[in-house]
Structure 1
Amino acid sequence: MIHASWMLVGIAGALRLGEPGVLAWVGVGALVWWIGRQRGAVVVGLANAITALRVVIAAAIATLPSDAVVPWGGGLLLLFFVLDGVDGWWARRSGTATAFGAAFDQEADAFMVAVVTVVITRAELAPGWVVTAGVLRYAYVLVVHALRTHGEAPRSLVARHAFGVLVVTLIAVMLVPCPLTRVAVSVGAALIVASFARSLWWSWRGPVTGA
């Protein structure tokens, strides 16, 4: 909850000041603090090193000048997306997959979405409400734990597909900004909103039992 709170503060600060770099510093600091809180669960290995590199790439996107977001932001995000598949593949192949690695991967993804949605709205590549896609992960954590629900919903295929669509549209809008990609990224953000609504419903209702 503390990590989620700091991320929301970082997003608000970046939007208020018009400086995505603020989110980069706050986000990396919050992740370092979060990792430190994992104590003995932290595993040092190639897969987690790749995930850490993805965090660095996301922070680099936040520090790009506005006139460099297209196309350099799209190129960096494409690299992030490729490495997102590599770290999980290597963890499974090498037998080093852990609960910490899965959680770290998820937090890296959430950090990236927060950063990129702030960057593209500041660069006027997408409507302002798209930032909602970057806020929801952290708002969801706070709501789920503050209201004593059934906990966070397990990550589903629906969520994975929604995330994949969002990332592809984010890459597209930073490589080829045009009305079509602007609409596409809005659709991707809407899918994320729907996915989190579904997860919140699960958290509130609890797992379905029986047939």
Structure 2
Amino acid sequence: MPKVQPFPQPPAAWSRPWWWAAAGFAMLVVVGLVAPLTPLAWAGGVAYLVVSTTLLSLGLRRRGTVRFGAANAVTATRSALVGVVTALVVAAFGGGGSTALLVTIAAFALALDGVDGYVARRTASVSELGGRFDMEVDAFLLLVLSIYDARFLGWWVLSIGLMRYAFVAAAWVLPFFARPLPYRYWRKVVTAACGIALAVVASQLLPAVANTVLVGTALALLVESFGRDVLWLVRMNRTGPRLVSPENAPAHDPGRARDESR
């Protein structure tokens, strides 16, 4: 059996979170040269980069490290792209930005979503922190895209971006909502479908009716996915803990599969 070659790790300097925040800022500068960014758009993009990187740094520090591996480097790249998307969305409400740039960058961020999990498995660097980082980047990308699309379809589209945060808020009131969930690959499929649907609507290539049907279908899938998790949590809260087989090992977060974490 041929020996599997180790996946290349990023250089030590580039394994520190703030370097990736700096890369995101450089992306903002380049985008600003191509499409006008309002001061508020700059503030939104930079705020996302600073807050997300600060939270990631605190998570790494709690685990006794300040560096991350190749898989988290991929997620950090996606996070930098999400910072740029955030700035472009804010700029759009002020008459600036560029739809073509926004859709292109969002598409790159969505395409990279499956890469970090693959790299994590190749490098045997699965961790709870990596999975949480990946999930939060996904959740925020869906939120900003749904805000952008609300201009075309109405504010009901925000339900896609806010559903993850509503789930988290529910856990503050009902602690059993924070219970680890069994692995379901379907969650990953639904997240990807929602991201693609929102990006397509943002491009405005389809007629309004088709956009409504597309996003409505994505919302229905998301409601089904979260609804199934809620029913499982309620049932488990009533019946108490039970043993979970290895193949159904619980995920640490409701939106991500165990094998997607780093």
| TM class, shorter-length | 0.7 to 0.9
Name 2:144's counterpart in structure 1.
115
Is 1:31 the counterpart of 2:61? The answer is no
Identical counterparts, % of pairs: 25
- For residues 79 and 63 of structure 2, the distance between their equivalents in structure 1, rounded to whole angstroms, comes to 21
- For residues 84 and 49 of structure 1, the distance between their equivalents in structure 2, rounded to whole angstroms, comes to 12
Name 1:15's counterpart in structure 2.
none
SS at match of 2:176: coil
Is 1:193 the counterpart of 2:223? The answer is yes
SS at match of 1:119: helix
Q: Which amino acid in structure 1 is aligned with residue 173 of structure 2?
A: A
Q: What is the TM-score of this pair, normalised by structure 2?
A: 0.63
Within-5 A mapping of 1:90-109: 90-109=119-138
| 1:27 and 1:111 in contact (8 A); partners too | no
Name 1:172's counterpart in structure 2.
200
- For residues 22 and 143 of structure 1, the distance between their equivalents in structure 2, rounded to whole angstroms, comes to 30
Deviation at 1:182, TM superposition (A): 3.4
Q: What is the TM-score of this pair, normalised by structure 1?
A: 0.77
Instruction: List per-residue Cα deviations over 1:23-81 (Å, max 9, x = no partner).
Output: 64554444334324421166511211111111121121121132645322211111011
Unaligned segments of structure 1, at least 5 residues? 1-18
Instruction: State the superposition RMSD in angstroms.
Output: 2.7
SS at match of 2:220: helix
1:203–1:29 distance in 2 versus 1, CA, 3 Å: farther
| 1:114 and 1:131 in contact (8 A); partners too | yes
Instruction: List per-residue Cα deviations over 1:150-201 (Å, max 9, x = no partner).
Output: 5343452232221121122122112324221332022212321232222222
- For residues 175 and 216 of structure 2, the distance between their equivalents in structure 1, rounded to whole angstroms, comes to 32
Within-5 A mapping of 1:43-192: 44-64=68-88, 65-66=91-92, 68-121=97-150, 124-149=151-176, 151-152=178-179, 153-175=181-203, 176-179=205-208, 180-192=210-222
| 1:41 and 1:100 in contact (8 A); partners too | no
Structure showing the higher helix proportion among its residues: 1
Which moves more between the two structures, 95-104 or 151-160? 151-160
- For residues 155 and 87 of structure 1, the distance between their equivalents in structure 2, rounded to whole angstroms, comes to 18
Q: Which amino acid in structure 1 is aligned with residue 171 of structure 2?
A: V
**Considering only CA atoms, is the larger Rg found in Structure 1 or Structure 2?**
2
Question: How many matched pairs?
Answer: 191
Name 2:32's counterpart in structure 1.
none
| 1:57 and 1:80 in contact (8 A); partners too | yes
Which moves more between the two structures, 155-164 or 77-86? 155-164
| 2:145 and 2:199 in contact (8 A); partners too | no
Which moves more between the two structures, 186-195 or 77-86? 186-195
Deviation at 1:142, TM superposition (A): 2.1
- For residues 177 and 199 of structure 2, the distance between their equivalents in structure 1, rounded to whole angstroms, comes to 35
Moved over 3 A (4+): 19-30, 207-210
Name 2:63's counterpart in structure 1.
40
- For residues 90 and 134 of structure 1, the distance between their equivalents in structure 2, rounded to whole angstroms, comes to 27
- For residues 214 and 72 of structure 2, the distance between their equivalents in structure 1, rounded to whole angstroms, comes to 31
Q: Which amino acid in structure 1 is aligned with residue 106 of structure 2?
A: L
- For residues 155 and 106 of structure 1, the distance between their equivalents in structure 2, rounded to whole angstroms, comes to 14
Q: Which amino acid in structure 1 is aligned with residue 200 of structure 2?
A: A
